[in-house]
Chain A
Amino acid sequence: MSAGWTHHSGTAVALDLESVDTDQLIPARFMSVPRVQGYGPYLLHDLRYDGAGQKLPDFVLNRHEGASILVARRNFGSGSSREAAVYALVDFGMRVVVAPSFGDIFSANAVNNGLLPLALPEADVDQILAMLVAQPAEARVDLQAGNLRICGQDYAFQLPQVWREKLMNGWDDIDLTTARAPQIAAYKTARRASTPWVWPS
């Protein structure tokens, strides 16, 4: 679990693609790497590097390696449950991804790692992408207010309360759940009685 945050200011860049799926975010061949080694080098690997492993100079993340806010089109993070897709974004330095829609599992993984999946209406994202196409821009995200400010424009966003609190507090769910141990134990007793086949003999 990451440290919590309430607002973030950074450089926003456009990745003008839809359905940037988990296999593009991190190709499967890199997923055996232990997390401590860092996943940043693998982010969008096959878009960033050619077949010989050379950086493609025109790719947006190679031109702006300090970017921390990524703006993309619909269905971002669709596909696999691999949390490594989020590790790659976070370890690269991303804090926020803005898109019209996200894969459900990706969103949950993102929030569990301090990365905000910021959903805006498609028209807003179109507008932001148009502003960013020529060059990146500084942007500011305020979690408490639910606001993204970029190129002098404000965009309000909705966030489930669960996610907002988790991002702001950097909660570790296991600690929260352990505090409910008596309720879990009571449930388990009842479950054993009603459906003993849950525990194979």
Chain B
Amino acid sequence: MTQAPAATAPATLFDKLWQAHEITRRADGASLLWVDRHLVHEGSHHAFAKLAARGAPVAEPQLTYAVVDHYAPTRGRDAIPAGDIRRMIETLGQNAHRHGLRLFGLRDPDQGIVHVVGPEQGLTLPGFTVNCGDSHTSTHGAFGALAFGIGATEVAHVLATQTIWQMRPKTMRITVVGQLGPAVGAKDLALHWIARLGADGARGHAIEYAGPAVRALSMEGRMTLCNLSIEGGARLGMVAPDDTTFAYLKGRPFAPAGADWARAVALWARLPSDDGAQFDREVEIDASDIAPTVTWGTSPEEGLPITGHVPNPAQLPPARAARASEALDYMGLSAGQALQGVAVDQVFIGSCTNGRIEDLRLAAKVLQGRRAKVPGLVAPGSALVKAQAEAEGLDRIFTQAGLDWVEAGCSMCVGMNGDLVAPGKRCASSTNRNFKGRQGRGARTHLMSPAMVAAAAITGTLCDVRPLLEGRV
């Protein structure tokens, strides 16, 4: 554990946020942090049950927001059959009603995936702590917020007290120098660093992403990058707020307005890490080294440039060979096989990682005037993203290409709503986890950017999107 620096020492963004939220610290090193935003979803039923068992109220209903996403049907919402899905959605509604929480329910025009809704509503703001019983809460760090996923016991604690006990993580800065190439984006950058450092490479650390290639990212790109922090094992990921952040937030429904806006921006401008601030670990990445990146195995660390070949276990040290063989076997790939040309059965575009408007715009650029060779699903990250995409005509590009355009939710990223990949089927997916069985028992998931998914749809194989985007971006 690191100690907080003295008041005069240069501080990191993380130091400033931690200090601003630390209510007290015990002798054993655990800090009690104030929670500015608590987001709950259907999966929070365990935590509400714990609260009910104590007969405790929600401490700060005004700071607690409920979102239907994991189980949200992407089709047929008007006639959800009786069963687990309906019960889970109704349970969240009942808990929200009981405790007086703002609910983004299935019929709400602002419904969507919790990590898309929070930012687009302006609920997520720089300088905040954000908790949610979902590991991809790291997404909100894109705004310069201390945002991390927690388990059900901790969710119950936040509901009951609006605080959380945490041990201070170490700090790590990933500085991305240079410039990302054409059709190479935040998803490729994230899969690249995770492949380099490992799926537990940032374990126990709070990451700050910095450098010109990060500054150049839109808020959507920064959210994608921070979202995937957990896949590299990090506790959380952050980008310091700047004019890009402020421009995104201004005028959002829950963002400060009027005099508060000016006051907030003045405070937020002081959040970036001071010159000379010390990190426990520093990593530098050259953006120009990064190609469109695809996973071949069953861990997010098993990623390669699309131009690469999957490992040959015979050429690996014994400790690595068994793991690689097992992953290749599950994925139905042969040793040393080229990634390009691997036939896919279907595609999925969506999720809290890549279900935002910018993701859909880029995928549509690839798909415009072309036909998909395989079936696929495009699930926007929120109802607002859906409406925006439809206003821009993106939905017609997807449907004319032969893909299904559906309602907003987590959908096929985790399959809880029934959008599943069948056993043995191979899916090119813009999601965050290629774990065994993640998209359904026996499903084979290749993670990649939404543009790369669109390219896979057109050719029916894993392929390099760059030639397909030439003259289109």
Binding site for B on A (CB under 8 A): 1, 17-19, 21-24, 27-29, 31-32, 34-35, 46, 51, 74-75, 78-84, 86, 101, 103-105, 108-109, 112-113, 160-162, 165, 173-174, 176-178, 180, 183-184, 187-188, 191, 195-200
Contacts of B326 in A (CB 8 A): 17
| Interface check B200, CB cutoff 8 A | yes
B235 partner, pick from A29, A104, A180, beta carbons under 8 A: A104
- The answer to whether B254 touches A46, judged by C-beta atoms less than 8 angstroms apart, is no
Query: Which positions 206-256 of chain B face chain A at CB distance < 8 Å?
Result: 230, 233, 235, 254-256
- The answer to whether A197 touches B260, judged by C-beta atoms less than 8 angstroms apart, is yes
A135 CB to closest chain B CB (Å) equals 20
Between A and B, 26 residue pairs with Cβ closer than 8 Å are A18-B323, A19-B299, A21-B436, A23-B437, A27-B437, A28-B438, A32-B88, A35-B46, A46-B441, A51-B441, A74-B200, A79-B433, A81-B134, A81-B150, A108-B154, A161-B28, A162-B30, A173-B165, A176-B165, A184-B23, A184-B34, A184-B161, A184-B163, A195-B127, A198-B128, A199-B63
- Smallest CB-CB separation from B299: which chain A residue? A19
Assembly CA distance A34 to B23 (angstroms): 34
- Smallest CB-CB separation from B152: which chain A residue? A83
| Interface check B203, CB cutoff 8 A | yes
B150 CB to closest chain A CB (Å) equals 6
Contacts of B272 in A (CB 8 A): none
- Smallest CB-CB separation from B410: which chain A residue? A28
Interface centre among B29, B134, B161 (most CB of A within 10 A): B161
A73 CB to closest chain B CB (Å) equals 8
- The answer to whether A79 touches B200, judged by C-beta atoms less than 8 angstroms apart, is no
Assembly CA distance A200 to B64 (angstroms): 11
Contacts of A199 in B (CB 8 A): 62-63
A80 partner, pick from B88, B135, B233, beta carbons under 8 A: B135
| Interface check B392, CB cutoff 8 A | no
Assembly CA distance A134 to B160 (angstroms): 48
Assembly CA distance A180 to B199 (angstroms): 37
- The answer to whether B32 touches A180, judged by C-beta atoms less than 8 angstroms apart, is yes
A187 CB to closest chain B CB (Å) equals 5
Assembly CA distance A31 to B152 (angstroms): 12
A20 CB to closest chain B CB (Å) equals 10
A59 CB to closest chain B CB (Å) equals 14
B172 CB to closest chain A CB (Å) equals 13
Contacts of A196 in B (CB 8 A): 256, 260
